[in-house]
Structure formats: structure tokens, C-alpha cells
Structure 1
Amino acid sequence: MKRFQNIAFAALSLFLSASVVSHAQTAPAGVGLFADQISYDPDAKSLIATGNVRVIYNDQVLTTDRVIYNQATGELTLPAAFELVSDDGTVVTGTSATLDDKATRGLITGAQILINDQFQMAASDFSRSQGRYKVMQQVVASTCNICYDNKVPFWQIRSKRVVHDEQERRIHFENPSLRLLGVPVLYLPYLSTPDPTVSRATGFLIPSFRHSSNLGYRVDLPYYIAIDDHRDATITPSIASAESFVVEGEYRHRFVNGQITANGAIALADPLSDTRFRSFATVTGDFNLRRDYQLAFKLDLSSDNTFLDQYDFNDDDRLFNFITLEKTTDDSFFSLGASFTQSLRADEVDEEIPLVFPQVYYRKNLDFDALPGRFGYTAQTVSLIRTDGSRVARVGGQLDWYNNWQFNNGLLLNAETKVEGNTYLVSNSTEYPERHYTNFTPTAAVELRYPLSKTVGNAIHVIEPIAQLVWSPDRAFDSPNEDSPQAEFSENNLFSTDRFQGFDESERGLRLNVGVNYLRYDPRGWELGVTVGRVFRQRDLNQFPDSVSAGLDGIVSDYVGAFNLRFPNQFSLSSRALFDGRGKVSKNETRFSTTYKKLDLDASYVWLDEQVVLDENDRQHEIALDARYQANQNWLFNAEWRHDLEANDATERTLGVEYENECAKIAFSVSLQNEALGKLTREFGLKISLEGLGARKSKPKFARRCGL
């Protein structure tokens, strides 16, 4: 009995700094030893466990075939291959080892370490010190699968000495070399990276490489700065062979109730322009305030018209700056804001684009139990200021009512009426010589819909003829028109009482909007939807010349039509068109998308006649194709192609190839674009990401397994 107590307590005391054991002591919790056979030498104070040995201490698990523990020295000897799993997910294996009783110091030969189930390191020997450092010699590190039939990983880092600081969660490499497919590509005197348990840490990110006709060969080297738990920044120097040097920066700050993001760039050396310090800056933010108010803003400015496009920051041709304070409830909406647009178009002058300050809008819906229908009112005001000193201020409002009825025969009747008016104050304007203007427009409309349905098999067919009669006075007001210079005619506003989107102009006269909707729906098959219609007017008030809208001019408008066909999980086809009574098409936009096995395909066709391209003399006639082919879980091919059918020349061609596995992602692309004056620009891009190196996480679809 006395001998058994000694053996049991020695087993439970494994990994502890034990002294001479009293037989009456109780073993600490969380300690256990399991083995096929256990023997104890009281004279040598040694415990030997053999056969399927499993030792548990403080969420650490050691498995091996043989353990020798010297209680007097606190030394643990593992003469056979072993595996030690820590509570942080670190796995250490080796051919043999000598450790202290808490596995905090010692030496392991033939060591292999797996951190966070993804970062592997193999070393000739391994030692621990001070309870926080893993020190390895002659190390090979990678996050790639290393299998029996593929012992050369996709990438690896070889280093003479590696120190893993468990407390700081960083891995330090001395004299490392990076190898791709076994070929050395980079040598460094020192490299430090966070271990994979870190979600974000300061340091260099993976660089990207590009080549373009404008800048030649270009490398971007981002440096990430983790300021604290809710702030970070990224600084990216960009150097090109054309002797350009651009520094880009990004700053992100999260608050309890919102966030701010700021980014920008400055060209310190620029061969493409004589302008000094070309730059851009963008700041965006949104916040949830008290009483359900929301604040949003964006500052977006560029030093000139071409900087963003030449350096591939973005291809926007207008930069919209704004600040808004909004509140939305079940029956109301409030907005207060200001805005300014910087145009990057060569044919637009910034001096002609006004500063909008301020702009106020309020909408309220009202329901009265004693009265039928829904009532509502709108109040709005805006002030437009230009750099030449001119100013236009508008104050206006609208009262409206809407109701609908459904009769026993299925007929639907909708009625609405509204009265809107505006008053303007103008100063220092040559375009509007008067100081004071007003307009006042009442509108009344009645709409009849008669949906008819029939079920054939599993399919439901619905045909719905619609007629909408709208009246507004013919009178035109000689007041400023700042927000309604154009109006688009489409199936979406076929049955609209006003096709101008702003407040300054309103559609006038007596008109009849006529059309029909058709829908075929089958929950187990394909779906088809068709809309066609046109507008009839009592008089042509010349509100919609070619410079304002296409298809709406004259007493009788063109036909507007839309067609949608969809096979669930197979393909979809949609088309929108404008065509006259003789069938001549002035506008057509057709889009097709399909998914077939591993192929995703999107195609589009656009035809815009001269009158449709407002303020332009050229037609737009092009076809575009976007394809993605996922050959397998590793290879992805994508292509984009845009062809100008009018000029019979391709305007854009892009081809990309991506390879991705459990430890790396390589993306290569080549792009050719035809710009103005027949200039052809070429761009090549290459980006290599090493998954798991520096806080990157391996993806679930690439499980850590062999034999793929």
C-alpha cells in the first residue's frame, strides 16, 4: 500500500517542482498520468512510465511511449518520439527531449512546432527558457502542407536561429531566406513577424508589383501600424521605374457609435506632370447619434483632373463631398446637409458647379381616421453658391393625398393629387436677372389597373393593363432650374406623375400613360416578365427636347419596354429599350448572366443613339463580357472584354489568373485599354500573399491534409 501511494503521488506530481512527498498529501487538481505500465524506484526517486503514456497538467497534454521522471532533480526525460499540446493550440513534436518538470526549460532534438494549427517550424534542436521563449536552431518554417509525396512546400523560410516570444506573441528570424518552390528569392539579415495567434500587429505587409505604360515597373510596399484596439494606419510607399515616388496613407478609427476612414496620397517625384506635390485626400465617416439621428460625411478632393486615373487610385470623374444629418421614423424623414462636387471632366468647369449650403428636407405622412387615404407634406430649402459670387436660394413645399380602391371584379383604382410651390431669391446672377421668382404647380392623377391571372399547370400567368391620366397646368414658369436639367424615360417611371427628379421643374400638361405588364411565374421553372407602354399628350409643350430627355418628346412618346427572363440557378436575361412606332430602336441595354458548373458568365450589350446620349454627337454601341472560371479549388481564371462596335475596336481587355492553396495566393493580371486619341495603355499586376505569415488566417476550404 505504501509503495502504491508513492507511485500514484509521483505520477500526479509530474511537471511540478516537487520535494519529498508526504504520504498523506493530496495531489493538485488538473494533473494526471496514464500509461500501460508504471514503476517507481524510491531510492533513485525516479518514475518510469511506458506504453501509451499520456500526461496531463494544466491543460497541457504530453503523449509518448516512455517517460522517465527524476523527482529529486525535477528532470523529465523523453527518450522516444513525443507530442506536447499546449492550451494555446501550440503543438511540439520531437524525436527525444530533456525537460524540466513544468516543461518551461529543456532541450528537444528533431523538434517540430505547429502554432495555431497553421504555422509549422522544424528545427534541429529546440530549447525553452524563462518560461516564455522557444529557441530553435537550423529552422525551416512554413504554413504549407508538407506531405510524404511533396516534401518541398510552396514557400518556406530557412533561418539559422529562431526565437518565439510567447508573451509578446512574435517570431524573430535571424539571417532568414525566403524560398518559393525550393528556390531562394529573398535574403534578409533579420525578420520579425507576429505569430498566427495575433489578429493584427505592426509591420510590413506583402508588397504588390505592377507594370503600366505610364509608370513602367512599380512596387507598392505597405507598412501597417496597429495603434490600439480601435485605431490603425497603413503607409504605402510606391516606387516606379519611370522615376515616380508616391506615398499613400490610410487611417481608420472606430468609435462606439461610428467610424472614420481617411486615405490619400502625395506624389513626391512625378514624371507625368510639372505640378508640384500632386495629391488627393478622402475622409469618410458615419455615426449613430442620440434620438436616432445619423451623421455621415465625405471629403473627396484631388489636386488635378488626372492624378487619380494615372496612378490607378480610382476612375471616378466626379468627386462628391457632403455632410448630412438624417433621421428616419415610421412616418417621417428629416435631412440637413451641404455638398460640393469637384469635376475631373475636361469639359466641365468647377466654377460652374455650386456649393450646396445648406440643404434641408422634411417629409411627413399623415393618416386621419375620419378621412380616407394618406395625407402628407414636404418642406424643403436649398441655397446654391458659386465662386463668381452668384447665389440662388429656394424655399418650397408640397401637400399631397393618395388613396386606392379595389372593386369586386378585381379592378384597382388609384387616385392622387398634390400641390407644390417654390419661391426663389437670386443675387449676382447673369443667368437669372430677376431677384425674385416663384412657381406653383398642382397635379391630379387617376390610375386604373385590371390584373387578370390564369393558372396553367404549375405556372401562373398574370396580365395587367394600366392606364394613368395625369393633369397639370400647361403654364411654364420662368424660374431657375438647377436640379432638373434632364429626365430619363424608362419602364420604372412609365406610370409616374413627374419624370423630373428635382423640385425646380415639373412635368406639365394633360397626358395619358398607357401600358401593360405581363408575368409568368412557376416556382419550379422559369420566370418571365414583360412591360411595354408609352405616353400620349394633349399638347407638345416642348419640355423634353433631345438635350433634356430621349423618347419623351412630341405629342406621342416612344415606346418603352422591358423584358426579364430567369431560370433559377441557371441564367437570367434582361433587356430595356426605347423604340418608336416604326420599330426603330434608339436605346437598348441587354444583360445576360449564367452559372454553368465552374463557369460564371456576364455579358452586356448597349446601344444608345445620338439623341439618347444627351449633349453628345456620337453614338454609344458596345458589347462587354466578364467571365470567371474556377477550374478547381486552387485555380481561378477571369477575363473582361469591352468592344466598341461603332469604332470596331476593343476598348478594354483584362486577363487574370489566381492560384491559391492553404498557404499562399498568387494573382497575376494583364490589362490593355484604349484611351482618348487612340492611346493604348498596358498594365501588368502581380501580388503574392503568404497565408499565415503575420496574422493571416488559413482558409477553411484548404484543410490541413495531404492527398488532395
Structure 2
Amino acid sequence: MRRRMRLAWVCALAMSLAVPAAAQDDAPGGAALLVADSVTVEDQSRLVATGNVEALFDGARLEARRIVYDQETGALEIEGPLRLTDPDGNVLVADRAELDREFENGLLRGARLVLDEQLQLASVEAQRVGGRYTAMSKVAVTSCQVCGPNETPLWQIRASRVVHDEDARQIYFDDAQFRVLDVPVIYFPRLRIPDPTLERAQGFLTPSIRSSTLLGFGIKVPYFVPLGQSRDLTFTPYLSPVTRTLETRYRQAFRYGEIELNGAVSQDTLESDTTRAYLFAEGTFRLPRRFRLDFDLETTSDEAYLNDYDYSGSDRLDSAITLSRTTPLSYFEAEFIHYQTLRDEERNATQPTLVLHSEYERRIPGLWGGELRLGSVAQGHYRYSDTPFDGDDEDMIVDGRDVARATVEASWRRTWTLTGGLRAGLTTQLWADRFEIRQDDTAARSASQLTPAIAGELRWPWTRNGPGGGQSLIEPVFQTAWTGGSRPDIPNDESTRVEFDEGNLLALSRFPAADRRERGRVSAAGLRFAHTAPEGWSTGFTLGRVWREDADPALTSSSGLDEEQSDYLLAGYLATNEGIAFSARSLLDQAEGRVTKAEARMTWTNMRMDIEASYLLVARDAAEARDSATSEWSFDGAYDFGREWSGEVFGRYNLVEDTFARAGLGVTWENECVSANFTAERRFASSTNLEPSTDFGLTVALKGFSTGGSAKEYRRTCQSF
């Protein structure tokens, strides 16, 4: 125990010399309480407390059968069974103790030390040295709960001598044997382990075993190095017959931010005579005046490295640095992005690799009874290729085209409430765009456009309050809009993918960027329904459609907007208080009677399971470089079978090719002293996964130490028969 506690106990006992009764009240300045069946004073210098002795001071508690304190020698004789508990929850149990007045030196027989209600150290005798060390001989250490004298723990460490350093919170072993069911498995002449109260200690972390068809049978052994209170570094050697890899992680917390770097360097037989590596770094900082700085760095040496070592499943890497500021009336963002494609059919030289983007928006409420919004956007993207025409690839995009654009916009909007609850809205918009194009023989070097727009909107919300607190809403909505100007003869470099959903049903332009805008008269109508039941569940749906004067050739067929009449938009959701949530969205082509795009997601979460399933369908569309339809479902679920067993399963299945893209499962067994996890995963060949592989992983952690996790959550109750 700590020195100040030991001094407090001596003060408590010394004060009790003047108290012949069984109790003493708390008093200012750190007074103590001593309770016993009998308290006597012998020869004016010896205090003897017997029978259910209990002493309390400063959150610590001592329980014993008999305590004898000699004021002249300062010696304490404590007869047990004795139990000493400090405010941190550490417990020292012994049959008998002989200590000095400072509790710094002495001998305890039949001692058992319980650290943080987790790790038990049982010994024949223990010696207190210097008020800091507890030296124990013939020791058995375990975090497994042992209910009887003949019960064998699942694991234990036997040692001839163990020293617990209270200040450093470290445990040192001499001649240690690691035993499983009392069978010696490993011998350590010397061993050091942090006690469970130490959260950051230099040393080895829990190792893991991995078997892969690509990398063979290997082992990972992490080593953790704290660099002060706010920084740490973790090295993880990964060794197998195929690879020699060193993984690293660096973390640092600042007063106003944090950073984390993850990386690895490998030499393997998959890529002979080549050093393979990757680096992921991310960080965020809170700056003055509500500014925020974020950065995200992702890079790798080759396309297959992340997949081969299961570091990431991304098929494109993006590195970005972003400066942003958000206030109640304004938003600002400026970011610089670098893209690296890992797809087999793409080349970094012909992709927009460097992107610079900034935007600003300002709201001015109350102007002419409505709200004025002012904004600006500046964007530029650069390709490494200097070829001013389309090469041999099939993307039909000029290989070296670089584009910069600037947009200034202003809008004013206002709503009115009419008779019968009808809501009317008016929106006016004006865009001014400037484009600069380089390294494209098929396009002009510059272009400008001025685009005015106006839209009128009607909503008629109907609400109903049902018995018990239920609420229902039915809201038909209609909008008609006109957008003027003409589209300049510039390439479509940013608006190649258009989404149509309930979020942009009433948008003036559904293109994602300014190089394409919807023109002419466009109308949209929709119906929204929402219901919340008093039992806690809720549901709703949205139905919508768009009509336009003329079909827009820039809109692809899979967007659902390419004809004069759009596909029907159907979206809905359901959520229950049992943890079930379902949402779905689809585009229905009435003319052909088919679904052109659909997605659905379902989750079910409760105390025992967490299940998530999703489905995606996108029709074939040559304009979006998709030669075949995409149809796949994915599943990810975890289930607790009981107190000790849990499992998970995950997968992604391609319905078009009738094959799995990825599948795996995991099983975890856990009790109060051990956690074991086994995983198996199969990854199949794809455009980003060139080589199929099967991986098996095993991790076994011993609880009760700071590196193995807490042992408190799974404590068993011993039963006597």
C-alpha cells in the first residue's frame, strides 16, 4: 500500500490508545475509526484490539482478528485472517503479519495479494521492503477464479520469487513457469509484466497467429513503447516463410488535436527484390475562431499490397488536407486531395489525381421576409498525363485534360402559410461560372455561363394525433421550376454520375457539379407519409417523380432522369423499439416495368446480437462505364450464444456472377481470465483482389494484466454444496 496510507493506519492506532471504547467519531484533519469487540491498553504503551477488529481511514479498511501495537518499539502484530483494502481496490490477505509502525517493512505469512480485483498473487510468505516493494516467495499468480483448495485454474504462473513494485506498478518474476491446467508449458528465467492498474507500460502486447494461403503460417508480436503521457509507438514484427514485415503505429495527443500514423514495410517472395510498404496517417486539430484542420494520408507501394496483407479493402486511396469553419450562419471549406487508384482497369496518369476544392456559403435571414444565401466554389483537378486526346483506354476521356472552374451564386427563398394550412414557397437562384480547360484538343480553352433559375413550391401537410400519443403525417408536395441559359460546349468531367433520391427531389439541378445543369422547365411532385406509434415504432415512405420539357442527353439511363418523365422514386423506412431498422430506396422504370436502381439496408440490434444486411442493384449503363449490371448483397452479424461464447459471420455475394466476393466467420470464447478469438476469411479474385486467398487467425489474451484486458466483467460466483 502507499506510504501515506501506512502512516494513516499508525496514526489511527495511536489515537486509539486514548479510547477504551469500541468506536471513535470522524473529526476534521483526517481522524480515524477503530471498531473491535474489545480494546485494552497494557503498561500504558501496548494497545490490544481483539475480536472482529476493523479500522477505517482515508478510504482504506483493515480487518483482522487481533491487533497488538507497541508504542515504544513501533511494532505491529496482526493476527488473521487479516484483510487490508486500499481505495484503489487492491486487497492484501494474510494469515499473520509483523510490521513496523510505518507499514514499510515487515513479514506477512500465508499472504495473498489481489490487484484491482483481477490478478491474484498467492505465496507462502511476503515481505514488505521500503514501503514500495512486496517480495513474495513460492508464488502462484492467476486471474482465474479458484473456488476451492483442490480446483486447478485454467492458467497460472508459478515462480520461486515475485516482486511487486507499487510505484512503477510492475510485477517481476524469477524462475517462472507458465502452466495450463497445472501442466508446465513455458519456462522464463526472468519475466516482467505490468499490473492491471497500469494502462500504458512498455513491453510486449498480446501476440496473434495468422495462416494465409498467400503469406503462409506466421506470427505477429506487438511491442508497445510509451513516449510520455501523450505519445506512444507500437512495433509489430510479422514473420512467416514468405514475408518479413515490420508494422508500426504512432499516436500523439495534443491539447487541441491528435494524430495517428499506421504503416508497414515488407520483404516477401510475392514481389521478389522489391520493398513493399504502405502509410496511412490521419489527424485533426481545433484552431482558433472555430476553424478545424483535418488531414488524411493514404499511400502504398503497389496495387496488391494492402489486399495481400489485409490492411485495407479500398480500391482507391485518397489523401486530403482540409481546413473548415462552421458557424450558425456560414460555412467554409478548403481542401487539397490526392487520389491513387488500385483498380486494375484504371491508370493514375489518366485519372484526376490532384484536386483542389474550396467553397463558402453565407446565410442572411430576414431579408425581404425571406433568406438570402451567397456562395462561391473554386475547383481544379489535374492529370499527370500530358496527352491532349483520348488514348487507347476505353473510358472515352481525354487522357491529359486539366480543368479549373469558379462559381459564384446567390439565392433568395421565402415561404408563406396560406388558408387551410397550405405552404407556399418561392426560390430564385443565379449562378455565374467560369471554366478553364487545358490539354484537350477537343474543347475550347475557356468558357463562361450565367444561369438564372426560379422555382415555386406548394406543400400541404396533414397531421393527425392518435390515441395514446401516436402521430401521423401526410404531405403532398409539388414544385415547378425554370432554369435559363444554355449549356456551354465543355466536357463533362465532374457530373458523370447522377443520383436521384428523396434528398434532391425538389432540387433546381440534380447534377453534382457546375459543368452540367438542368435547363428549361422542370416539375416535380411527391407524396410523403410518416407515422410514429405510441408503442415506439415508426414508419414512413416517399413517392416522387420529375417531368421536364426536353430530355437531357447528359443524364444517363441508370440515373432514372434521362427521359422527359423520370422513373418513379420509391423510398421507405421502418424502425421498431426492438432494435430493428429497415430502409430501402429504388427507381422504377414504368415504361419497361423494371427496377433500374435499388438499395436496401436492414439492422437488428439488441443485447445478444448485432446484425446488418444490405442489398444493391444498379442496371447496366455504358455511359457510366458499366458493361454489366451490379447486383450484390452483403451481411455482417454478431451473436452472443451465452456468457462465454460469441460468434460473427460476414460476407459479400455477387448475384450477377453467382460468386462470393468475400466471406468469413469468427468465434470468441471468453471467461474471467482468458479471451480466445479464431477467425477464418476467404477473399475471391476481383479487379482489386488479383489473387484469391484464405486467411486463418488466432489470438489468445490472458486477462488480468494491463495488456490482456479486464477480468472484472466475467467474475464467477463460487457455490458451496
TM-score (normalised: structure 2): 0.88
Say if 2:570 is the partner of 1:569. no
Which residue identity is paired with 1:572? A
> Is the contact between residue 612 and residue 635 of structure 2 (CA under 8 Å) also seen in structure 1?
yes
Aligned in 2, Cα 1:596/1:13: closer, same or farther, shift over 3 Å? closer
1:67-86 correspondence to structure 2 within 5 Å: 67-86=67-86
Residue 415 of structure 1 pairs with residue 426 of structure 2: yes
Aligned residue runs from structure 1 range 367-406, under 5 A: 367-369=365-367, 371-388=368-385, 391-406=402-417
Instruction: Report the AA paired with residue 718 of structure 2.
Output: C
Q: Distance in 1 between matches of 2:453 and 2:149?
A: 79
CA distance in 2, matches of 1:476, 1:56: 85
Q: Residue 317 and residue 650 in structure 1: after superposition, are their counterparts in 2 closer, same or farther (change >3 A)? A: closer
What pairs with 1:261-300 in structure 2 (closer than 5 Å)? 261-267=260-266, 269-274=267-272, 276-300=274-298
Report whether the alignment pairs 1:213 with 2:208. Answer: no
Q: Which string of whole-angstrom CA distances, capped at 9 and with x for unpartnered residues, describes residues 237-267 of structure 1?
A: 1112x33011111111111111121121111
Distance 2:563 2:226 in 1: 63
| Cα deviation digits, residues 103-132 of structure 1 (max 9, x gap) | 222222211001222221001111111221
Residue 676 of structure 1 corresponds to which residue in structure 2? 686
Q: Is 1:13 equivalent to 2:4 in the alignment?
A: no
- Closer, same or farther in 2 for the Cα pair 1:612/1:105, shift >3 Å? farther
Residue 247 of structure 1 is matched in structure 2 by 246
Identify the residue that residue 659 of structure 2 maps to in structure 1: 649
Output the CA distance in 1 between the equivalents of 2:462 and 2:71. Answer: 92
Match among 554, 558, 567 for residue 558 of structure 1: 567
- Following superposition of structure 1 onto structure 2, how do residues 90-105 of structure 1 map, counting pairs within 5 Å? 90-105=90-105
Distance 1:473 1:61, change over 3 A: closer
Match of 1:628 among 635, 638, 646: 638
Partner residue in 1 for 2:550:
539
Give the aligned partner of residue 489 of structure 1. Answer: 500
Partners of 1:339 and 1:365 in 2: CA distance: 27
Query: Closer, same or farther in 2 for the Cα pair 1:425/1:651, shift >3 Å?
Result: closer
* Cα displacement (A) at 1:456: 5.6
Deviation of 1:40 (Å): 4.9
* Cα shift readout 1:559-602 (whole Å, capped 9, x = no counterpart): 11112223322533322111111531222223333357734433
Letter in 1 for 2:562: D
Structure 1 residues 175-232: Cα deviation after superposition (integer angstroms, max 9, x where no partner): 2232344444433222212222222121111111222221122211111111111111
Could you say if the C-alpha distance between residues 149 and 633 of structure 1 is closer, same or farther in structure 2, counting changes exceeding 3 Å? Answer: farther
Aligned residue pairs total 682
Per-residue CA distance 1:314-334 (angstroms, 9 max, x = gap):
111111111122222221112
Closer/same/farther in 2, CA of residues 384 and 593 from structure 1, 3 Å limit: closer
3-state SS, counterpart of residue 319 of structure 2: strand
Superposition deviation, residue 615 in structure 1: 1.4
Q: 1:347 corresponds to which residue?
A: 345
Which stretch has the larger CA shift, 349-358 or 531-540? Answer: 349-358
Alignment correspondent of 1:200: 200
Within the alignment, does 1:660 sit opposite 2:670 as a pair?
yes
Aligned mates of 2:307, 2:627 — CA distance in 1 = 25
Instruction: Specify the alignment match of 1:20 in structure 2.
Output: none
Are residue 154 (structure 1) and residue 154 (structure 2) matched?
yes
Is the 8 Å Cα contact of residues 12 and 31 (structure 2) preserved in structure 1? no
Unaligned runs of 5+ in 2: 1-9, 18-28, 387-399
d(CA) in 2 for partners of 1:11 and 1:638?
55
Asked if structure 2 preserves the Cα contact closer than 8 Å seen for 1:198 and 1:695, the reply is no
Alpha-carbon distance in structure 1 between the residues aligned to 2:93 and 2:301: 58
Question: What is the rounded CA distance, in whole Å, between the counterparts of 1:567 and 1:10 in structure 2?
Answer: 61
Contact 1:15–1:100 (CA<8 Å) still a contact in 2? Answer: no
SS of the counterpart of 1:175?
Answer: strand
- Deviation, 1:633, is 2.9
Structure 1 residues 174, 679: CA separation in 2 closer, same or farther (over 3 Å shift)?
same
Q: Residue 30 of structure 1 contacts residue 56 of structure 1 at CA under 8 Å; is this kept in 2? A: no
Could you say if the C-alpha distance between residues 150 and 277 of structure 1 is closer, same or farther in structure 2, counting changes exceeding 3 Å? farther
What residue in structure 2 maps to residue 3 of structure 1?
none
SS of alignment partner, residue 419 of structure 2: coil
Is 443-452 or 59-68 further displaced after alignment? 59-68
Secondary structure at the aligned position of 2:289 is classed as: helix
Q: 1:614–1:146: structure 2 CA closer, same or farther, 3 Å change rule?
A: farther
Percent identity over the alignment? 32
Moved more, 430-439 or 136-145: 430-439
SS in 1 for 2:406: strand
Which residue in the other structure is 1:35 paired with? 36
Code of the aligned partner of 2:432 = G
CA distance in 2, matches of 1:15, 1:38: 9
> Is the CA contact 1:624–1:641 (under 8 Å) kept in the aligned structure 2?
yes
**Cα distance, 1:182–1:641 mapped onto 2, change above 3 Å:** farther
Q: State whether residues 550 and 611 of structure 1, in contact with CA within 8 Å, keep that contact through their aligned partners in structure 2.
A: no
Q: More displaced, 371-380 or 672-681? A: 672-681
Contact conserved, 1:13 with 1:31, CA < 8 A, in 2?
no
How many angstroms does 1:133 deviate by? Answer: 1.1
Partner of 2:528: 517
Structure 1 position 54, deviation (Å)? 3.2
Q: Structure 1 residues 357 and 564, CA, compared in 2 at 3 Å: closer, same or farther?
A: closer
Match of 2:26 in 1: none
Conservation of the 8 A alpha-carbon contact between 1:438 and 1:479? no
Deviation at 1:483, TM superposition (A): 2.4
- Counterpart CA distance in 1 for 2:217 and 2:522 is 61
Compute the displacement of 1:664 (Å): 2.8
Partner of 1:467: 478
Q: Which amino acid aligns with 1:630?
A: D
CA distance in 2 between counterparts of 1:112 and 1:612 reads 74
TM-score (norm 1): 0.89
Classify 1:522/1:49 alpha carbon distance in 2 versus 1 (closer, same or farther; 3 Å).
closer
Instruction: Map Cα deviations across residues 293-342 of structure 1 (whole Å, 9 max, x no partner).
Output: 11111221111111111101111111111112222222111222311111
1:25 alignment counterpart: none
Could you tell me which residue of structure 2 aligns to residue 4 of structure 1? none
Render the CA deviation track for 1:456-508: whole Å, top value 9, x for unaligned: 65554433222211212373211244322221122322222111112222122
Q: 2:626 pairs with 606, 616, 621, which one? A: 616
Relative distance call for 1:522 and 1:618 in structure 2 (3 A) is same
Residue matched to 1:260: 259
- Residues 31 and 540 of structure 1, relative CA distance in 2, 3 Å threshold: closer
1:418, CA displacement in angstroms? 1.0
Give yes or no for contact 1:262–1:281 (8 Å, CA) kept in 2: yes
1:508 aligns with 2:519: yes
Residue 71 of structure 1: how far off its partner (Å):
4.5
Deviation at 1:58, TM superposition (A): 7.1
Residues 681 and 165 (structure 1), Cα distance of their counterparts in 2 relative to 1, 3 Å cut: same
Secondary structure of the corresponding residue to residue 227 of structure 2: strand
1:326 maps onto 2:324 in alignment: yes
Distance 1:511 1:304, change over 3 A: same
Q: 1 CA distance for matches of 2:100 and 2:377?
A: 78
CA distance in 1, matches of 2:373, 2:268: 57
User: Does the 8 A contact of 1:53 with 1:65 survive in 2?
Assistant: yes
Change beyond 3 A, Cα 1:88–1:451: closer
Secondary structure, counterpart of 1:409 in structure 2: helix
Mapped partners of 1:597, 1:289: distance in 2: 40
Q: 1:556: how far off?
A: 1.5
Shift, 1:434, TM fit: 2.9
AA at the equivalent of 1:690: L
C-alpha root-mean-square deviation of aligned residues, in Å? 2.9
CA distance in 1, matches of 2:326, 2:461: 34
Using a 3 Å threshold, how does the CA distance of structure 1 residues 447 and 699 change in structure 2: closer, same or farther? Answer: farther
Unaligned runs of 5+ in 1: 1-8, 17-27
Contact 1:14-1:69 within 8 A present in 2 as well: no
Residues 86 and 410 (structure 1 numbering): CA distance in 2 closer, same or farther, change over 3 Å?
A: closer
> Equivalent residue for 1:169?
169
